[in-house]
Amino acid sequence: MPKSLAARVYRGTPKNLLRLARLLRAGELVAVPTETVYGLAANALDSRACRAIFAAKGRPQTDPLIVHIGALHDLEAIAEPNAAALKLAKKFWPGPLTLVLPKTPVVPAVVSAGLPSVAVRMPSHPLFRRLIRLARVPLAAPSANPFGYVSPTTAEHVRHGLGRKIRHILDGGPARIGLESTIIDLRDPERPRLLRPGAITRAQLERALGRRVAWPRRPGRGKTRTEAQLAPGMLLRHYSPQTPVVVHRQMSLRRVRAAAKHEAWILFAKPAGRPARNIFWFDARGDQRRVARSLFATLRRLDDGRFTRIHVEFARGNGLAEAINDRLRRAAAR
């Protein structure tokens, strides 16, 4: 590892997990694997430790953190659940679903951007869950990358993005899902609102709740860094590589093949024939789950200065398309 990158990468051995748990209880930061993306964890009940997350990421304190718990019975210590929240938690936890609920007094204001609510979830990644249990405290953990940049889905992404800012990274392999968790606002259980789409779709939430879940047509419109956000991932520009991104409703292969070679073009599926060197694809067959898993890694790979612009097309259909398009829309916002 280059000397300029100070972070140590740990394998998920019992000895390493015990050490990292002790460090978290002592107020240290640890980058952790989750099923969604890698997170930068700290003791969620320690204001000083949580402020260190914001400092390491360059994240404005108006953007709240998600609190991660290890068991359902831990929820009441952090938030005030209602029947709708418990219904979703019992169905989808552990998993990629975050609930926004009224918070309890133990949650520091820095975690919730000064708001009386808190975002909370129970992750399914086995190493992260084991670490939460060993730490014996809930863990606040936004994505482990410089604020606003493409989210990390491997330990190596974390090392290159925050290797000079943090000291500890737990390697749990590539993220299984590759997109941040679905976030639903259940402060008013009669009016649930989808704040961020993810692997658990709006249709799944509506079936589980037996009611419509609202979703703004243009999410993030008007959100700025200076106003407190109800949940992470709501800013208009987010998940963005340094290279400008342009999103198209649909890209014809003929146009792509005739395009300038200094611009990158990402298709959802591998095109027929031998593609040019500036043509890429998320998955050979365009499978949505594999597209989601490779989305951020592909954007990172192309964001190396070789291309002046990255072109990509919106996902079509149902399922994960809503979440994929949300990330592409924010990555392309200027």
Confidence grade of residue 10 (pLDDT, cut at 50, 70, 90) = very high
State the Cα–Cα distance between residues 273 and 54, nearest whole angstrom: 47
User: pLDDT at position 228, please?
Assistant: 86
264 in a structural domain = yes
166 shares its domain with 299:
no
Shared domain for 202 and 280, answered yes or no, is: no
Q: CB neighbours (10 Å) of residue 165?
A: 17
| pTM listed for this prediction | 0.94
- For residue 324, the enclosing domain spans 245-332
Clarify whether residues 184 and 43 are in a common domain. Answer: yes
pLDDT, tens digit, for every residue of 37-56?
999 999 999 999 999 999 99
In this prediction, residue 3 has a pLDDT band, given cuts at 50, 70 and 90, of very low
202 and 250 share one domain: no
Does residue 16 share a domain with residue 150?
yes
Q: Is residue 234 part of a domain?
A: no
Tell me the per-residue pLDDT of 250-268, one tens digit each, with 9 for 90 and over.
887 777 877 778 999 998 8
Check pLDDT > 80 for residue 224: no
My answer on whether 276 and 156 are in the same domain is no
Lowest mean pLDDT among 15-24, 144-153, 275-284: 275-284
Check whether residue 165 and residue 84 sit in a common domain: yes
Domain annotation covers residue 167: yes
Q: What is the DSSP letter of 266?
A: E
**Arithmetic mean of pLDDT, 295-320:** 91
Buried b (16+ CB within 10 A) or exposed e, 253-291: eeebeebeeebbbbbbeeeeeebeebbbbbbeebebeeb
Residue 54 belongs to a domain with what CATH number?
3.90.870.10
Is the residue at 157 inside a domain?
Answer: yes
Distance CA 192, CA 99 (A): 10
Using only C-alpha atoms, what is the Rg of the chain? 20
d(CA 220, CA 250): 23
The answer to whether residue 219 sits within a structural domain is no
The answer on 168 and 279 residing in a single domain is: no
> Euclidean distance between the first and final Cα of the chain, in Å?
34
**Residue-level length of the chain:** 334
Mean pLDDT of 115-122: 98
Same domain as 64, residue 132: yes
Question: Does 293 share its domain with 198?
Answer: no
> Which of 218, 71, 52 lies closest to 130, judged by CA?
71
Residue at 13 is within a domain: yes
Is 168 in the same domain as 269? no
Q: Is residue 236 part of a domain?
A: no
**pLDDT tens-digit map of 199-222:** 999 999 999 999 999 987 554 444
Q: How far apart are CA 186 and CA 25, in angstroms?
A: 30
Q: Cα–Cα distance between 264 and 4 in angstroms, integer?
A: 30
140 vs 267: which has the higher pLDDT? 140
DSSP 72: G
Cα 332 from chain centre: 17
Same domain, 17 and 101: yes
Number of domain units in the chain? 2
Distance, in Å, from the CA atom of 288 to the CA atom of 282, rounded to the nearest integer, reads: 9
Within a domain: residue 253?
yes
pLDDT at residue 70 is higher than 50? yes
